[in-house]
Amino acid sequence: MKAQRRPADRRSDCAPPLLCTIDGFPNAMTIMLEGHRPSRMPFFERLAAMPHSAAGDPSFLGQIHLIYQSAMHATRAAVYYLPHLDSPALRKRKLRIFVDDDGLPGGDTHHYQLTRALRNIGAECVLQDEEFGDPEELCRYLDGETAYFVSIARKLYSRSLGPWCAVETMSVDWMRALAEALSVHFPQFKHEPYFEECFSHMVEERHAAEAIEVTQMILRARPELLADTLRDAKTIAEALDGVWTQLDRLVQRATATALPARAGAQHSIRCGSVRAATALLP
């Protein structure tokens, strides 16, 4: 008789090898990160499927902005603390990535672009752009998984290159998933510069390839860093899963609140109270 497999055994199927060769590092990262691919998380599908009236609620969109921008901010700020990339040639490569986030033409940044994208669909932002600063202070406005993610991002980024590789590798996936999900409700959303400039120039694909290549180069010189690099990559990937989980709870709450209201609206129509009903329809 075949032995029953325990959940822990099943988990180990998609767990990364604890050690791999330096040559095998890109492949080991791909395999590990496939288990954390953001678009597999229910948040994106539920966001697309939620009632339009709930998706368009300014305070709901403001919460989406707060959580998503906080997670993005944490990584954009943490990338300035990356270790091991101190030679002139590596500083130049690092700088190109900084510029893609914070040196856009006309003094623009990826952060400002994201805020504009969400404001343009009606988000009432909880924090103004310049209020995204020190991670500890930012955590005062956050809770749950996002607070955890923000609190560990700098620590992880500053001790190994693994978290940077993980985030850069996964970012195009979650950006596409978010653009598609919100564009179900706001068709112009995916055409916002935050998304379109990134997708058309394959910015995140380039960042992913660059992060892996640079990290592999560092590992060739310092193979003793390999295990920590993989471990930290896994840690941030798990923490990022938590951010999508928290966003998913937000969507589920907003949907649950909207559905009874919609049912009430339909009942009102049947009862002839059109005025009460139209206020609630999408």
**Which residues of the chain form contacts with Fe ion (CB under 5 A)?**
168, 204, 207
- Nearer CB in complex with Fe ion: 46/207: 207
CB of 218: closest distance to Fe ion in angstroms?
18
The SS3 of residue 108 is: strand
Give min distance, CB of 91 to Fe ion, in A.
Answer: 17
**Cα–Cα nearest to 220, from 36, 3, 88, 26:** 26
CB-nearer residue toward Fe ion: 41 or 97: 97
Quote the least distance from Cβ 205 to Fe ion, whole Å.
9
What is the rounded CA–CA span in Å between residue 232 and residue 238?
Answer: 10
Contact 118, 61 (CB under 8 A): yes
The distance of closest approach from Cβ of residue 232 to Fe ion in the complex, given in angstroms and rounded to an integer, is 17
Which candidate, 166, 165, 184, 171, places its Cα nearest to that of 50?
Answer: 184
Of 118, 153, 129, residue with least CA distance to 139? 153
Contact 233, 163 (CB under 8 A): yes
**Between 154 and 207, CB nearer to Fe ion:** 207
Q: Which is nearer to Fe ion, 192 or 204 (CB)?
A: 204
Question: Which residue's beta carbon is nearest to the bound Fe ion?
Answer: 207
Which residues, in sequence order, are bridge partners of residue 108? 104
Using the 8-state DSSP alphabet, how is residue 122 labeled?
A: T
Shorter beta-carbon distance to Fe ion: residue 167 or 225: 167
Task: State which residue, 123 or 211, has the beta carbon closest to Fe ion.
Answer: 211
Tell me how far, at minimum, the Cβ of 94 lies from Fe ion, in Å. Answer: 12
* Least distance (Å) between residue 104 CB and Fe ion: 13
Q: Rounded CA gap, 127 and 136, in Å?
A: 15
